Structure 1
Amino acid sequence: MSDVGGIAGDQLRSYIERIERLEEEKATLQNDMKEVFAEAKGNGFDVKIMRQVLKLRKMEAADRSEQEELLELYKRALGMDGAPAGDPDDE
């Protein structure tokens, strides 16, 4: 195929076909992951918690630590840690 409007048709087709193959592989991998989660759930694991753990494992240690500290701070501010919530006038 020749250039059409300055676009190399063969090269474009090659890119499109490669992307289509990768999308097929991605769908297969997503299905495989779904099956692993279903297997884990069948063995009594909480899939929502597993997803949270996966997200945390992807984070840098400093980012994870900062997020955990903020979560604890917010929970304390809302009285979710067993202690009474702070007085809104304290700020």
Structure 2
Amino acid sequence: MSEDNVAAEQLRLFIERIERLEEEKKGIADDVKDVYAEAKANGYDTKTMRKIVALRRMEKHARDEADALLETYRNALGLV
């Protein structure tokens, strides 16, 4: 097998792996969407839930920094 054929085969395998992972990612995104829809049907505010999920993903120091900055901006605009 020539070097070109080996490189083309390796590239094809990478592309196929990426395509499979993208399909799995879409399936997971659909599952997450379903969970939010279920939560909304049970009376939960999904916009707030999304913010909580984002906050939980952040490290504590980053979350504290974002909170302090938000508080500073709120105070500056009289939204206390």
- AA in 2 matched with 1:16: I
Normalised by the size of structure 1, how large is the TM-score? 0.81
Could you tell me how far apart the structure 1 residues matched to 2:27 and 2:57 are?
22
Higher percent of residues as strand:
1
Where does structure 2 lack aligned partners over 5 or more consecutive residues? none
Provide Cα deviations, 1:34-61, integer angstroms capped at 9, x if missing partner.
0000000000111110110011001111
Identity of aligned residues (%): 56
Could you tell me how far apart the structure 1 residues matched to 2:37 and 2:11 are?
39
Runs of 4+ in 1 over 4 A off after TM superposition: none
Q: What value does the CA root-mean-square deviation take over the aligned residues? A: 1.4
In structure 2, the residue matched to 1:12 is 11
Q: Which has the larger radius of gyration?
A: 1
Number of residue pairs the alignment of both structures matches: 79
Higher percent of residues as helix:
2
In structure 2, the residue matched to 1:33 is 32
Could you tell me how far apart the structure 1 residues matched to 2:69 and 2:15 are?
44
- AA in 2 matched with 1:12: L
